[in-house]
Structure 1
Amino acid sequence: MVAGLGWRRLRFRHPAQVVVAGFAAAIAVGTALLTLPIAREGPGGASVMEALFTATSAVCVTGLVVVDTPSYWTGFGEGVILALIQVGGFGIMTFASLLVVLVSRRLGLRARLTAAAETKTLGLGEVRSVVAGVVKFSLVLEAVTATMLTLRFALGYDEPWPRAVWLGVFHAVSAFNNAGFALYTDNLMDFVADPWICLPIAFAVVAGGLGFPVLFELRRRLRRPRAWSLHTKIVLWATGIFLAGGTVLITAIEWSNPATLGPLDTPGKLLAGFFQGGVMPRTAGFNSLDIGRMDPASWLVMDVLMFVGGASAGTAGGIKITTFAVLFFVIYAEVRGEGAVNIFNRRLTGDVQRQALTVVLLSVAAVVGSTVVFMVFTDINLGRSLFEVTSAFATVGLSTGITADLPVPEQILLTALMFIGRLGPITVASALALRPRARLYDLPEERPVIG
C-alpha cells in the first residue's frame, strides 16, 4: 500500500512527466493501429519498426518516413496518420484538457498545470480559455487551408471531388501542424511552381510555427504593436529575418542548379526558393525540390534553419527562435561590456539566460553525438548524416533520401531523436527527475579563466 502511494506521488510529481507519458501512449496506440493488416496495402501488416517510426514521426509532427505514404498505407492507415498528426499538433495534454472542459465544464488544478506545461502559458487562470482557443484557431485555419487546396486539386488538376477533399484536408492538417506528410510519392515536387498549392501550405506552416501565444496576442492587439509582449516581438522579428534569409540564401545557391531551380523561370525560382528555403526548414518537411540533389552548401544553411526552428508553444520544432534570440543578445551584451541583457527595452532575467544556454547545449550534444554514430556505423558522409539527424531532432522531416535505407539501429536512433526533439531536452530531463533539489547554502565565489 505504501509502495503504491509512493509510486502515485512519483508519477504526478511534475506535469512534464504526464506530457511525456501522454506522447508515448499516443505513439504506442498509433504503432498498434498501423501494424494492423487493414492499414497496409497488400497482404499482411506493416512491421513493428515501420509502424513505430511512422507513428512517432506523425505524433511528433516530423514527416520523416521509411515507407512511401501514398502507396504503402491504405485509406485507413492514412487516416490513422492524420489523426496522430492532429493529436501531436494539439499536444496530448492540451487535447486531454479540452475533453475535461467539455465533460466537466471546469479544470482541476492538476489538469491546469499539465496544460500549462504543454502550451507554455504563464497563468493557470488562462489555461482553460487558451486550450479552447488553440483548438478553435487550429480547426478554423486548417479548414480555410483545406478549402483552398481542395478547390485547386479539383479545378486545377481534375481530381474527383471526394479525392480532392481528402487531399485538401490531409495536406492542410499536415501543414498547420508542421508535419510534412504528403500523399504524393515525390511529396510536393509536382507543384513546385504552383502558387495555389505552395502558398496556402506555406501560410499554414508559418502560422502554426508562430506559436499560439503569439497568434492570440496578435488577435487582441494587432493594431497596437507597442503593447506587444517581449515574446511576440522576438518571434515576429526573428521569423521575418529567418524567412527572408533562408529564401535569399537557398535561392542564390540553387539558382543555376539544373537539378533544382535551374529549369524554372524567375517567378518559379522565387516561389520555390521561398517555399523550400524560407518556410519548410522552419520546421515542416514538405519538399518541392529534390533535397538529395541540392548543393551541400544549401544543406548546411538548412541545417542551421532546422536547428533553430520556430516559436515556442507552436507546432514547429528546433531549439526555438526565442532561445536563439536570447543567446544572440547575451553575446551582444557581453561584447559591448554591458552588465545586463536588454531586448526591446526589457531586461532578461538570469534564469532565462541559463535555460536558453541549457537547451542549446543539450541540443548540440544530441545532434553531434547522433551524427558521430551515423558516420561510425554507416558509410554515410558528414553532410547527409548531419542533415538527417538535425531534421529528426528538430522534427522537420526533410531528408536527402537516405531514411528508408538506413539500418534498423539508425532508424531507432532517429525515432528517439524525434521524440526528444518534440518534447524538448528540458521537458524530458524534468520528466525523468524524481524531485527538484534545492541548495540550502551558497559556495564561495571564484572565477576561472575564459577564452
Structure 2
Amino acid sequence: MFSHKRRSRLARFGRFGELMYHQLFDKPARFIATGFTLTILLGGFLLWLPISQNEGQAVSFIDSLFVATSAATVTGLSTINIAESYDLLGQIILMLLIQIGGLGFMTIALVLLSVTGRKIGIRQRIIIQEMFNLDSPGGTIRLVRNIILTTVVVEMIGMLLIALDLFIQYKYTFGRALYYGLFHAVSAFNNAGFALWGDSLIGFQQDTTFILTIAALLMIGGLGFTVIADIAGKRNFKKISLHSKLMVLSLLVIN
C-alpha cells in the first residue's frame, strides 16, 4: 500500500502531467512547435555522438544542432562538410530528420498510430488541419495516407533513377548506388539541399539524367502535398483549387 505522502506526490505528478498534456495538445500550433523543437534537439544530440561521426572528426554540439535544425526545417544550410563529417549512422539520422521535416512529425505519428491500430481522434485531426492549412478536419486521414503513398512512390522512382545512373555511369557498387540514390531522392523531394559529396552536385553538372531527376524531384516536392493531392484527385486543371492553380503556374513561370 502507498503511504499518504506517496499518494500525494503521485496525485501532484498526475495533475502536472495532465496540465502539461492540455497545454500541448489543446493548442495545435504549440504542439507542432514543441514537436519540431524536440525533434531538432534529439537529432542534434544524436549527430553529436561519436558513433555518428567519421573517425578523427569532432563535430561540436553547436554545429550538430545547426545541421539538425537545417535538416528538420529543410533549408539545406550546413556549417560543416556532411560527407567528411558523418559516417553511415550519422547520414541516416540526417536523412530521417529531412524526411520528418518534409512530412511533418505529426504525419509520421499518425501513421504509427494507424499501424498500431490506435484510434485517431478529433484533436489529432485538427493538428493535421493546422499543419496543412486545410479548411476543415474532414478527410485528414485520407490526406495523410495519400501523402505517405505519394512520398514513397516518388522517392522510390527517384532513388532508382539516381542509383542506375551511379551504377552504370560511375561504376558504384549496386548497394552503394541504391543508398546514395535514396539519400539524394529524399533530400531533393523534400527540398533539403543536402548531398553526400564534398562538392555537392558540381561533379554532375554535365550529367543530364542526374540533373533532370534531381530537378524533377525538387519541382514535385516544391508543389506541396495538398497541391499534389488536389491534382491527383481532380485530374483536371480546370477543377483544381485556385491555390493549386497558382502553385502550378508559379512553378512553370519560375522554371
| TM-score by shorter chain over 0.5 | yes
Determine helix, strand or coil for the equivalent of 1:227: coil
Q: Work out whether residues 86 and 173 of structure 1, in 8 Å CA contact, stay in contact via their aligned partners in 2.
A: yes
Matched residue SS, 1:18:
helix
The answer for the alignment partner of 2:250 in structure 1 is 238
Mapped partners of 2:164, 2:57: distance in 1 = 36
Partner of 1:46: 59
Aligned residue in 2 for 1:96: 109
3-state SS in 1 of match to 2:124: helix
Distance 2:71 2:219 in 1: 19
Task: Write the distance in 1 (CA, Å) between the matches of 2:57 and 2:169.
Answer: 37
1:315-394 equivalences in 2 (<5 Å):
none
Q: Determine which of 124, 127, 131 is the counterpart of 1:114.
A: 127
State the match for 1:216 in structure 2. 229
- Matches of 2:67 and 2:129, distance apart in 1: 28
Of the candidates 214, 239, 244, which is equivalent to residue 227 of structure 1? 239
1:16 equivalenced with 2:29 (yes/no):
yes
CA deviation string 1:91-119 (max 9, x = no partner): 01111111122223531111111111112
Q: 1:94–1:118: 8 Å Cα contact kept in structure 2?
A: no
Equivalent position amino acid for 1:185 in 2: G
Q: Distance in 2 between matches of 1:164 and 1:225?
A: 37
Tell whether 2:85 aligns with 1:72.
yes
SS in 1 for 2:138: helix
Separation in structure 2 between the aligned mates of residue 132 and residue 10 of structure 1, nearest angstrom: 28
- Is 1:198 aligned to 2:214, yes or no? no
> Sequence identity of aligned pairs in percent?
32
Pair 160,113 (structure 1): closer, same or farther in 2 beyond 3 Å: same
More helix by share: 2
* Matched AA of 2:100: V
Query: Given that residues 167 and 183 in structure 1 are in contact (C-alpha distance below 8 angstroms), is that contact kept between their aligned partners in structure 2?
Result: yes
Per-residue CA distance 1:40-72 (angstroms, 9 max, x = gap) = 112464211111011111111111111111111
Give structure 1 stretches of 5+ with no counterpart.
244-451
- 1:163 to partner: Cα distance: 1.4
What is residue 61 of structure 1 aligned with on the other side?
74
TM-score by length of 1: 0.52
1:128 corresponding residue in structure 2:
141
Q: How does 1:30-41 map to 2 (within 5 A)?
A: 30-41=43-54
Q: 1:88 to 1:71 in 2, by over 3 A?
A: same
Q: 2:31 & 2:169 partners in 1: Cα distance?
A: 46
| Corresponding residue for residue 7 of structure 2 | none
Q: Which SS does the other structure have where 1:131 is aligned?
A: helix
Show CA shifts across 1:259-309 (max 9, x none): xxxxxxxxxxxxxxxxxxxxxxxxxxxxxxxxxxxxxxxxxxxxxxxxxxx
Contact 2:54 2:86 in 1 (8 A): yes
Tell me which residue corresponds to 2:9: none
Structure number with higher relative contact order (C-alpha < 8 Å, ≥ 6 residues apart)? 1
Aligned length: 242
Please tell me whether the aligned partners of residues 97 and 115 of structure 1 are also in contact (alpha carbons under 8 angstroms). Answer: no
Cα contact 1:89–1:177 (8 A) shared by 2? yes
Instruction: Give TM-score scaled by structure 2 length.
Output: 0.90
1:240 maps to amino acid: L
